[in-house]
Structures are given as structure tokens and as C-alpha cells.
């Protein structure tokens, strides 16, 4: 059973466009929602993260939108660039339980075309 559902599975966006990836979660104990970026042959790396006490967080071209009542969060990549082509994973965890055991979504393969 997938506790964090991610869509779409793959996404093609034109350079300069907006990439949007969506995630939904079930466990209301989750209180930390990061997005990880992974390039081929590399491990995932933290891109941006949000806590449920805010509805939006922006870092450069990357924005997380968070809807606590709907149990959904999304990643927006503005002015998408070819260098953004990678696999993106949403994740969730409960920090109050100690440690940071992440539950990941299934990933979105993003391709940004010229």
C-alpha cells in the first residue's frame, strides 16, 4: 500500500515552462514533506522541504504548495531548464517519532526540452 502517491509518472516540458508534480499522502502523523532530485547514477539529493504549518515555500525557481486539509502537496518548477531534467521524488516523514524515516512517492521523470 502506497502511503505517498505521486503523479505524473513522467513529464515533458518545454524550456521556460512550468513543471508541476503532485503528491498525496494518507498518514496524518506526517509532519515533514521534502522533495528529492535524482540524476542518473546518483543518489537522491534534497531539493526543498516544507512543514505543515505553512502553505507555500519558495526557493529560487522551486516552490512547494501544501494543502493540509486535502493531504496534498506539489512541486512547481518555474522557468524549467534542460538541467532540471531528472527524476523527482516527493517524500513524507514523522519527525516526532525520532529520526527521519522517509516514505517516498514512486517518482516523476522530468524531461525539459529545448
- Binding to other proteins by residue 63, rule CB under 8 A? no
How many residues line the site for other proteins (CB under 8 A)?
25
How far, in Å, CA of 84 to CA of 82, rounded? 5
CB–CB of 23/91 below 8 Å? Answer: no
Residue from 12, 27, 28, 42 in contact with other proteins (CB under 8 A) = 42
Least Å from the CB of residue 58 to other proteins = 17
- Binding to other proteins by residue 40, rule CB under 8 A? no
- Binding to other proteins by residue 100, rule CB under 8 A? yes
Burial annotation 17-44 (CB, 10 A radius, 16+ → b, else e)? eebbbbbbbeeeebebbbbbbbeeeeeb
Question: In the complex, which residues of this chain contact other proteins (CB under 8 A)?
Answer: 4, 6, 9, 32, 34, 36, 41-46, 49, 89, 95, 98-107
Amino acid at each position: 500500500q502506497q502511503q505517498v502517491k505521486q503523479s505524473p509518472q513522467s513529464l515533458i516540458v518545454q524550456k521556460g515552462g512550468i513543471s508541476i508534480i503532485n503528491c498525496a499522502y494518507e498518514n496524518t502523523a506526517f509532519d515533514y514533506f521534502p522533495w528529492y532530485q535524482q540524476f542518473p547514477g546518483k543518489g537522491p539529493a534534497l531539493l526543498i522541504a516544507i512543514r505543515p504549518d505553512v502553505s507555500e515555500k519558495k526557493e529560487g525557481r522551486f516552490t512547494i504548495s501544501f494543502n493540509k486539509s486535502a493531504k496534498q502537496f506539489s512541486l512547481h518548477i518555474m522557468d524549467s531548464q534542460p538541467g532540471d531534467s531528472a527524476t523527482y521524488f516527493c517524500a513524507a516523514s514523522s519527525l516526532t517519532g525520532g529520526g527521519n524515516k522517509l516514505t517516498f512517492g514512486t517518482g516523476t521523470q522530468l524531461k525539459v526540452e529545448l
